[in-house]
Amino acid sequence: ASRKLLLLPGDGIGPEAMTEVKKLIAAMNADLNTGFETEEGLVGGCAYDAHGQSISEEDMAKAMAADAVLFGAVGGPKWDSVPYEVRPEAGLLRLRKDMELFANLRPAICYPALAASSSLKPDVVEGLDILILRELTGGVYFGEPKEIIDLGNGQKRGIDTQVYDTFEIERIAGVAFELARTRGNKVCSMEKHNVMKSGVLWKEVVAETHKEKFSDVELTHMLADAGGMQLVRWPKQFDVILTDNLFGDMLSDVAAMLTGSLGMLPSASLGAPDPLTGKRKALYEPVHGSAPDIAGQGVANPIAMIASFAMCLRYSFNMIAEADRLEKAISEVLNDGLRTPDIMSDGMTKIGTAQMGDAIIAK
Ligand code: NAI
Ligand code: MG
Protein backbone atom coordinates (compact mmCIF):
# COMPACT_ATOMS: atom_id res chain seq x y z
CA ALA A 1 0.00 0.00 0.00
CA SER A 2 1.26 3.49 -0.74
CA ARG A 3 1.78 5.75 2.25
CA LYS A 4 1.58 9.39 1.30
CA LEU A 5 2.57 12.04 3.82
CA LEU A 6 2.36 15.79 3.44
CA LEU A 7 4.87 17.57 5.67
CA LEU A 8 4.04 21.15 6.69
CA PRO A 9 6.95 22.25 8.92
CA GLY A 10 5.73 25.86 9.30
CA ASP A 11 7.62 28.50 11.27
CA GLY A 12 10.05 28.87 14.18
CA ILE A 13 11.01 25.53 15.70
CA GLY A 14 8.46 23.74 13.46
CA PRO A 15 11.07 23.04 10.74
CA GLU A 16 13.73 22.12 13.34
CA ALA A 17 11.47 19.47 14.87
CA MET A 18 10.29 18.27 11.44
CA THR A 19 13.89 17.72 10.32
CA GLU A 20 14.19 14.99 12.96
CA VAL A 21 11.01 13.30 11.71
CA LYS A 22 12.35 13.46 8.15
CA LYS A 23 15.53 11.68 9.30
CA LEU A 24 13.37 9.09 11.06
CA ILE A 25 11.21 8.49 7.97
CA ALA A 26 14.33 8.10 5.80
CA ALA A 27 15.76 5.60 8.31
CA MET A 28 12.50 3.62 8.43
CA ASN A 29 12.23 3.54 4.64
CA ALA A 30 15.83 2.31 4.39
CA ASP A 31 15.83 -0.25 7.21
CA LEU A 32 12.19 -1.35 7.49
CA ASN A 33 11.09 -0.85 3.88
CA THR A 34 8.11 1.23 5.02
CA GLY A 35 7.68 2.98 1.66
CA PHE A 36 6.65 6.38 2.95
CA GLU A 37 6.33 8.97 0.19
CA THR A 38 6.68 12.53 1.42
CA GLU A 39 5.84 15.87 -0.07
CA GLU A 40 6.46 19.22 1.58
CA GLY A 41 4.41 22.40 1.67
CA LEU A 42 4.29 25.82 3.29
CA VAL A 43 1.95 26.87 6.07
CA GLY A 44 1.77 29.88 8.36
CA GLY A 45 4.10 32.87 8.21
CA CYS A 46 6.46 31.28 5.70
CA ALA A 47 3.53 30.68 3.33
CA TYR A 48 2.42 34.29 3.78
CA ASP A 49 5.93 35.49 2.92
CA ALA A 50 6.01 33.26 -0.18
CA HIS A 51 2.58 34.01 -1.63
CA GLY A 52 0.48 36.17 0.69
CA GLN A 53 -1.73 33.35 2.01
CA SER A 54 -1.29 31.24 5.15
CA ILE A 55 -1.72 28.13 3.00
CA SER A 56 -1.95 27.94 -0.80
CA GLU A 57 -4.75 26.17 -2.68
CA GLU A 58 -2.14 23.85 -4.09
CA ASP A 59 -0.94 22.78 -0.64
CA MET A 60 -4.57 22.46 0.55
CA ALA A 61 -5.19 20.07 -2.34
CA LYS A 62 -2.10 18.06 -1.35
CA ALA A 63 -3.37 17.89 2.24
CA MET A 64 -6.75 16.59 1.08
CA ALA A 65 -5.08 13.92 -1.07
CA ALA A 66 -2.48 12.74 1.48
CA ASP A 67 -2.98 9.75 3.79
CA ALA A 68 -1.82 11.97 6.64
CA VAL A 69 -0.50 15.48 7.24
CA LEU A 70 2.38 16.15 9.63
CA PHE A 71 2.24 19.73 10.88
CA GLY A 72 5.03 21.54 12.77
CA ALA A 73 4.01 24.90 14.22
CA VAL A 74 3.09 28.34 12.90
CA GLY A 75 3.42 31.95 13.93
CA GLY A 76 5.93 34.38 15.38
CA PRO A 77 6.43 38.09 16.08
CA LYS A 78 7.33 38.75 12.44
CA TRP A 79 3.66 38.18 11.44
CA ASP A 80 1.90 39.71 14.43
CA SER A 81 0.48 42.54 12.34
CA VAL A 82 -0.46 40.79 9.08
CA PRO A 83 -4.18 41.00 8.13
CA TYR A 84 -6.43 38.75 10.23
CA GLU A 85 -7.57 36.49 7.36
CA VAL A 86 -4.00 35.58 6.44
CA ARG A 87 -2.49 35.36 9.94
CA PRO A 88 -0.40 32.20 10.45
CA GLU A 89 -3.07 30.33 12.51
CA ALA A 90 -5.55 30.76 9.65
CA GLY A 91 -3.66 28.06 7.73
CA LEU A 92 -4.15 25.54 10.52
CA LEU A 93 -7.82 26.48 10.97
CA ARG A 94 -8.38 26.07 7.23
CA LEU A 95 -6.81 22.59 7.32
CA ARG A 96 -8.98 21.57 10.29
CA LYS A 97 -12.12 22.91 8.63
CA ASP A 98 -11.64 21.58 5.09
CA MET A 99 -10.43 18.17 6.29
CA GLU A 100 -13.34 18.13 8.79
CA LEU A 101 -11.08 17.11 11.65
CA PHE A 102 -13.69 16.80 14.38
CA ALA A 103 -11.79 14.49 16.73
CA ASN A 104 -8.79 15.86 18.60
CA LEU A 105 -6.69 13.28 20.46
CA ARG A 106 -4.47 14.62 23.24
CA PRO A 107 -2.59 11.90 25.11
CA ALA A 108 -1.14 12.64 28.52
CA ILE A 109 1.65 10.16 29.10
CA CYS A 110 4.18 10.35 31.87
CA TYR A 111 7.48 8.79 30.94
CA PRO A 112 8.91 7.04 34.02
CA ALA A 113 12.21 8.94 33.72
CA LEU A 114 10.37 12.26 34.03
CA ALA A 115 7.94 11.41 36.86
CA ALA A 116 10.21 12.97 39.46
CA SER A 117 10.17 16.36 37.71
CA SER A 118 6.36 16.57 37.40
CA SER A 119 4.55 19.37 39.19
CA LEU A 120 2.57 16.66 41.02
CA LYS A 121 3.75 13.91 43.34
CA PRO A 122 5.64 11.24 41.36
CA ASP A 123 3.27 8.41 42.42
CA VAL A 124 0.28 10.39 41.09
CA VAL A 125 1.74 10.58 37.57
CA GLU A 126 4.22 7.71 37.26
CA GLY A 127 3.05 5.38 34.48
CA LEU A 128 0.19 7.73 33.57
CA ASP A 129 -1.25 7.01 30.11
CA ILE A 130 -4.58 8.68 29.41
CA LEU A 131 -6.16 10.09 26.29
CA ILE A 132 -8.33 13.19 26.16
CA LEU A 133 -10.65 13.19 23.18
CA ARG A 134 -11.92 16.68 22.42
CA GLU A 135 -14.66 17.49 19.91
CA LEU A 136 -12.99 20.05 17.65
CA THR A 137 -15.41 21.45 15.09
CA GLY A 138 -18.60 22.21 17.05
CA GLY A 139 -19.79 23.70 20.32
CA VAL A 140 -19.46 27.19 21.68
CA TYR A 141 -16.46 28.21 19.55
CA PHE A 142 -18.60 27.95 16.41
CA GLY A 143 -22.28 28.22 17.45
CA GLU A 144 -24.49 31.10 16.24
CA PRO A 145 -25.36 33.76 17.32
CA LYS A 146 -21.85 34.86 18.13
CA GLU A 147 -21.58 38.61 18.53
CA ILE A 148 -21.24 41.67 20.72
CA ILE A 149 -24.36 43.81 20.69
CA ASP A 150 -24.74 47.35 21.95
CA LEU A 151 -27.58 47.56 24.48
CA GLY A 152 -27.71 51.34 24.13
CA ASN A 153 -27.50 52.15 27.85
CA GLY A 154 -23.74 52.18 28.02
CA GLN A 155 -23.83 48.39 28.25
CA LYS A 156 -22.78 45.84 25.70
CA ARG A 157 -23.59 42.12 25.57
CA GLY A 158 -21.14 39.44 24.40
CA ILE A 159 -22.85 36.33 23.08
CA ASP A 160 -21.48 32.89 22.29
CA THR A 161 -23.79 29.96 21.70
CA GLN A 162 -23.15 26.33 22.55
CA VAL A 163 -24.69 24.14 19.84
CA TYR A 164 -24.39 20.36 19.41
CA ASP A 165 -26.44 18.20 17.07
CA THR A 166 -26.99 14.47 17.55
CA PHE A 167 -24.70 13.45 14.67
CA GLU A 168 -21.81 15.49 16.05
CA ILE A 169 -22.04 13.79 19.43
CA GLU A 170 -22.57 10.34 17.92
CA ARG A 171 -19.48 10.50 15.73
CA ILE A 172 -17.12 11.75 18.45
CA ALA A 173 -18.54 9.18 20.89
CA GLY A 174 -17.90 6.46 18.29
CA VAL A 175 -14.25 7.51 18.06
CA ALA A 176 -13.96 7.47 21.87
CA PHE A 177 -15.29 3.92 22.17
CA GLU A 178 -13.18 2.65 19.27
CA LEU A 179 -10.04 4.17 20.81
CA ALA A 180 -10.91 2.75 24.24
CA ARG A 181 -11.06 -0.76 22.74
CA THR A 182 -7.41 -0.42 21.68
CA ARG A 183 -6.37 0.79 25.16
CA GLY A 184 -7.86 0.32 28.64
CA ASN A 185 -11.47 -0.18 27.40
CA LYS A 186 -12.86 2.66 29.54
CA VAL A 187 -14.53 5.94 28.54
CA CYS A 188 -15.45 8.75 30.92
CA SER A 189 -17.71 11.32 29.24
CA MET A 190 -17.65 14.84 30.71
CA GLU A 191 -20.28 17.58 30.30
CA LYS A 192 -22.47 19.78 32.49
CA HIS A 193 -25.95 18.29 32.08
CA ASN A 194 -26.94 19.87 35.40
CA VAL A 195 -26.86 23.38 33.88
CA MET A 196 -26.64 23.01 30.07
CA LYS A 197 -29.18 21.62 27.57
CA SER A 198 -26.36 20.69 25.20
CA GLY A 199 -24.94 18.74 28.14
CA VAL A 200 -28.22 16.85 28.59
CA LEU A 201 -28.19 15.88 24.91
CA TRP A 202 -24.48 15.02 25.03
CA LYS A 203 -25.00 12.60 27.91
CA GLU A 204 -28.07 11.00 26.29
CA VAL A 205 -26.46 10.48 22.89
CA VAL A 206 -23.23 9.10 24.38
CA ALA A 207 -25.25 6.63 26.47
CA GLU A 208 -27.36 5.64 23.45
CA THR A 209 -24.30 5.15 21.20
CA HIS A 210 -22.73 3.04 23.93
CA LYS A 211 -25.82 0.86 24.33
CA GLU A 212 -26.25 0.31 20.60
CA LYS A 213 -22.72 -0.43 19.46
CA PHE A 214 -20.14 -0.37 22.22
CA SER A 215 -21.62 -1.99 25.33
CA ASP A 216 -18.38 -4.01 25.79
CA VAL A 217 -16.60 -0.75 26.76
CA GLU A 218 -16.97 0.58 30.31
CA LEU A 219 -18.74 3.97 30.24
CA THR A 220 -18.99 6.49 33.08
CA HIS A 221 -20.22 10.09 33.13
CA MET A 222 -18.77 12.94 35.14
CA LEU A 223 -19.59 16.62 35.43
CA ALA A 224 -16.75 18.49 33.73
CA ASP A 225 -15.82 20.59 36.77
CA ALA A 226 -15.59 17.51 38.98
CA GLY A 227 -13.65 15.88 36.14
CA GLY A 228 -11.09 18.66 36.28
CA MET A 229 -10.65 18.06 39.97
CA GLN A 230 -10.33 14.29 39.55
CA LEU A 231 -7.82 14.78 36.74
CA VAL A 232 -5.47 16.54 39.11
CA ARG A 233 -6.29 14.42 42.18
CA TRP A 234 -5.87 10.93 40.67
CA PRO A 235 -5.46 11.00 36.87
CA LYS A 236 -4.72 7.28 36.62
CA GLN A 237 -8.43 6.50 37.23
CA PHE A 238 -9.07 7.52 33.59
CA ASP A 239 -8.40 5.84 30.26
CA VAL A 240 -10.23 7.85 27.55
CA ILE A 241 -11.90 11.13 28.52
CA LEU A 242 -14.56 12.16 26.01
CA THR A 243 -15.59 15.79 26.05
CA ASP A 244 -16.74 18.80 24.02
CA ASN A 245 -14.71 21.54 22.40
CA LEU A 246 -14.62 24.04 25.30
CA PHE A 247 -14.19 21.62 28.21
CA GLY A 248 -11.73 19.62 26.10
CA ASP A 249 -9.63 22.70 25.45
CA MET A 250 -9.26 23.31 29.18
CA LEU A 251 -9.03 19.72 30.39
CA SER A 252 -6.37 18.81 27.83
CA ASP A 253 -4.21 21.76 28.88
CA VAL A 254 -4.59 20.72 32.52
CA ALA A 255 -3.69 17.14 31.64
CA ALA A 256 -0.69 18.39 29.68
CA MET A 257 0.81 19.94 32.78
CA LEU A 258 0.56 16.66 34.68
CA THR A 259 3.33 15.31 32.51
CA GLY A 260 5.88 18.06 32.09
CA SER A 261 7.15 20.14 29.17
CA LEU A 262 5.19 21.35 26.17
CA GLY A 263 8.07 19.93 24.17
CA MET A 264 6.89 16.38 24.99
CA LEU A 265 3.22 16.53 23.98
CA PRO A 266 1.87 15.12 20.71
CA SER A 267 -1.64 15.37 19.25
CA ALA A 268 -3.74 13.98 16.43
CA SER A 269 -6.84 15.33 14.73
CA LEU A 270 -9.01 12.89 12.80
CA GLY A 271 -11.92 13.22 10.38
CA ALA A 272 -14.74 10.86 9.44
CA PRO A 273 -13.90 7.59 7.66
CA ASP A 274 -14.15 7.82 3.87
CA PRO A 275 -17.27 5.85 2.84
CA LEU A 276 -15.35 3.98 0.13
CA THR A 277 -11.93 3.34 1.65
CA GLY A 278 -12.68 3.60 5.38
CA LYS A 279 -9.62 5.83 5.76
CA ARG A 280 -9.85 8.90 7.97
CA LYS A 281 -8.31 12.22 7.01
CA ALA A 282 -5.75 13.03 9.68
CA LEU A 283 -3.36 15.72 10.85
CA TYR A 284 -0.65 15.17 13.46
CA GLU A 285 1.03 18.02 15.30
CA PRO A 286 2.88 18.79 18.50
CA VAL A 287 0.85 20.74 21.08
CA HIS A 288 3.51 23.44 21.32
CA GLY A 289 3.78 26.50 19.10
CA SER A 290 6.69 27.94 17.10
CA ALA A 291 8.66 28.97 20.23
CA PRO A 292 10.27 32.11 18.75
CA ASP A 293 12.30 32.53 21.96
CA ILE A 294 14.42 29.46 21.14
CA ALA A 295 14.00 29.16 17.35
CA GLY A 296 17.18 28.79 15.30
CA GLN A 297 19.31 27.70 18.24
CA GLY A 298 19.10 23.94 17.70
CA VAL A 299 17.82 23.36 21.25
CA ALA A 300 14.10 22.67 20.68
CA ASN A 301 12.82 19.37 22.00
CA PRO A 302 11.79 17.26 18.97
CA ILE A 303 9.99 14.61 21.07
CA ALA A 304 6.49 16.16 20.71
CA MET A 305 6.88 16.09 16.92
CA ILE A 306 8.36 12.58 16.90
CA ALA A 307 5.62 11.29 19.23
CA SER A 308 3.07 12.90 16.88
CA PHE A 309 4.56 10.79 14.10
CA ALA A 310 4.17 7.71 16.35
CA MET A 311 0.46 8.58 16.58
CA CYS A 312 0.41 8.82 12.79
CA LEU A 313 1.87 5.30 12.50
CA ARG A 314 -0.76 4.04 14.95
CA TYR A 315 -3.90 5.78 13.71
CA SER A 316 -3.34 6.41 9.99
CA PHE A 317 -1.35 3.33 9.00
CA ASN A 318 -2.28 0.78 11.67
CA MET A 319 1.49 0.22 12.20
CA ILE A 320 0.99 -0.65 15.84
CA ALA A 321 4.28 -2.49 16.39
CA GLU A 322 6.25 0.35 14.82
CA ALA A 323 4.40 2.96 16.89
CA ASP A 324 5.05 0.98 20.09
CA ARG A 325 8.70 0.63 19.14
CA LEU A 326 9.08 4.35 18.49
CA GLU A 327 7.41 5.28 21.79
CA LYS A 328 9.64 2.79 23.58
CA ALA A 329 12.70 4.35 21.93
CA ILE A 330 11.68 7.77 23.29
CA SER A 331 11.27 6.28 26.77
CA GLU A 332 14.66 4.55 26.60
CA VAL A 333 16.51 7.65 25.49
CA LEU A 334 15.05 9.45 28.51
CA ASN A 335 16.05 6.52 30.74
CA ASP A 336 19.60 6.97 29.40
CA GLY A 337 19.56 10.47 30.87
CA LEU A 338 19.52 12.43 27.61
CA ARG A 339 17.66 15.75 27.92
CA THR A 340 17.01 18.81 25.80
CA PRO A 341 17.22 22.03 27.89
CA ASP A 342 13.44 22.26 28.47
CA ILE A 343 13.42 18.94 30.40
CA MET A 344 16.93 19.16 31.85
CA SER A 345 17.46 18.21 35.50
CA ASP A 346 20.41 17.52 37.82
CA GLY A 347 22.80 14.79 36.74
CA MET A 348 21.33 14.41 33.24
CA THR A 349 23.12 14.94 29.91
CA LYS A 350 22.12 18.09 28.06
CA ILE A 351 21.84 17.69 24.28
CA GLY A 352 20.31 19.57 21.33
CA THR A 353 17.53 18.89 18.83
CA ALA A 354 19.57 16.88 16.32
CA GLN A 355 21.27 14.75 18.97
CA MET A 356 17.90 13.91 20.51
CA GLY A 357 16.54 12.90 17.10
CA ASP A 358 19.64 10.81 16.36
CA ALA A 359 19.47 9.05 19.74
CA ILE A 360 15.82 8.07 19.21
CA ILE A 361 16.47 6.86 15.66
CA ALA A 362 19.45 4.82 16.88
CA LYS A 363 17.24 3.06 19.44
P1 NAI B 1 4.99 28.05 22.40
O2 NAI B 1 4.42 26.69 22.57
O3 NAI B 1 5.57 28.35 21.08
O4 NAI B 1 6.08 28.32 23.52
C5 NAI B 1 5.80 28.39 24.91
C6 NAI B 1 7.09 28.14 25.72
O7 NAI B 1 7.43 26.75 25.64
C8 NAI B 1 8.29 28.90 25.17
O9 NAI B 1 9.10 29.32 26.22
C10 NAI B 1 9.00 27.86 24.33
O11 NAI B 1 10.39 28.09 24.21
C12 NAI B 1 8.70 26.57 25.07
N13 NAI B 1 8.62 25.44 24.11
C14 NAI B 1 7.59 25.18 23.27
N15 NAI B 1 7.87 24.11 22.53
C16 NAI B 1 9.10 23.69 22.89
C17 NAI B 1 9.95 22.62 22.46
N18 NAI B 1 9.57 21.77 21.50
N19 NAI B 1 11.14 22.48 23.05
C20 NAI B 1 11.52 23.33 24.03
N21 NAI B 1 10.78 24.35 24.48
C22 NAI B 1 9.57 24.53 23.92
O23 NAI B 1 3.79 29.08 22.72
P24 NAI B 1 3.81 30.69 22.66
O25 NAI B 1 5.13 31.22 23.07
O26 NAI B 1 2.59 31.09 23.36
O27 NAI B 1 3.57 31.04 21.11
C28 NAI B 1 4.63 31.29 20.21
C29 NAI B 1 4.06 31.38 18.79
O30 NAI B 1 3.52 30.10 18.42
C31 NAI B 1 2.93 32.38 18.67
O32 NAI B 1 3.06 33.01 17.40
C33 NAI B 1 1.69 31.52 18.72
O34 NAI B 1 0.62 32.10 18.03
C35 NAI B 1 2.16 30.27 18.03
N36 NAI B 1 1.44 29.04 18.38
C37 NAI B 1 1.22 28.15 17.38
C38 NAI B 1 0.60 26.95 17.62
C39 NAI B 1 0.46 26.00 16.49
O40 NAI B 1 1.13 26.14 15.48
N41 NAI B 1 -0.38 24.98 16.61
C42 NAI B 1 0.14 26.58 18.97
C43 NAI B 1 0.49 27.56 19.98
C44 NAI B 1 1.09 28.74 19.67
MG1 MG C 1 -5.91 25.26 24.65
Q: Is 123 a catalytic residue?
A: no
**3-class state of residue 112 by DSSP:** helix
Ligand 2 centroid distance, CA of 250 (Å): 6
Cβ 92 under 6 angstroms from ligand 1: yes
- CA–CA distance, 162 with 241 (Å, rounded to integer): 20
Q: Is 164 a catalytic residue?
A: no
Cβ 73 under 6 angstroms from ligand 1: yes
Residue 78 annotated as lining a ligand binding site: yes
Burial (CB < 10 A; 0-12, 13-18, 19+), residue 149, is exposed
Tell whether the torsion through CA atoms of 247, 239, 220 and 125 is positive or negative.
Answer: negative
- CA–CA distance, 166 with 161 (Å, rounded to integer): 16
Q: Which of 98, 129, 141, 186 is catalytic?
A: 141
Could you report the per-residue pLDDT of 171-207, keeping only the tens digit for each? Answer: 999 999 999 999 999 999 999 999 999 999 999 999 9
CB 6 within 8 A of CB 62: yes
Evaluate if residue 119 carries a pLDDT over 80: no
Q: Is 225 a catalytic residue?
A: yes
Cβ 76 under 6 angstroms from ligand 1: yes
- CA–CA distance, 358 with 312 (Å, rounded to integer): 20
Ligand 2 centroid distance, CA of 211 (Å): 31
Alpha helices (H) in 34-165, listed in sequence order: 45-51, 57-65, 88-98, 122-125
- CA–CA distance, 221 with 241 (Å, rounded to integer): 10
Cβ 260 under 6 angstroms from ligand 1: no
Could you report the per-residue pLDDT of 25-58, keeping only the tens digit for each? Answer: 999 999 999 999 999 999 999 999 999 999 999 9
Could you report the per-residue pLDDT of 208-262, keeping only the tens digit for each? Answer: 999 999 999 999 999 999 999 999 999 999 999 999 999 999 999 888 888 777 8
Cβ 294 under 6 angstroms from ligand 1: yes
Nearest residue CA, atom 4 of ligand 1? 291
Tell me the pLDDT band of 123, cut-offs 50, 70 and 90. confident
Residue 312 has a pLDDT of 98
**3-class state of residue 126 by DSSP:** coil
Which ligand does the CA of 352 lie closest to?
Answer: 1
Evaluate if residue 81 carries a pLDDT over 80: yes
The kind and range of the H/E element at 247 are helix 245-258
- CA–CA distance, 70 with 61 (Å, rounded to integer): 15
Residue 1 has a pLDDT of 64
Tell me the pLDDT band of 332, cut-offs 50, 70 and 90. very high
CB 308 within 8 A of CB 267: yes
Phi, psi torsion values for 271, nearest 5 degrees: -105, -170
Residue 2 has a pLDDT of 85
Average pLDDT, rounded, for the chain:
95
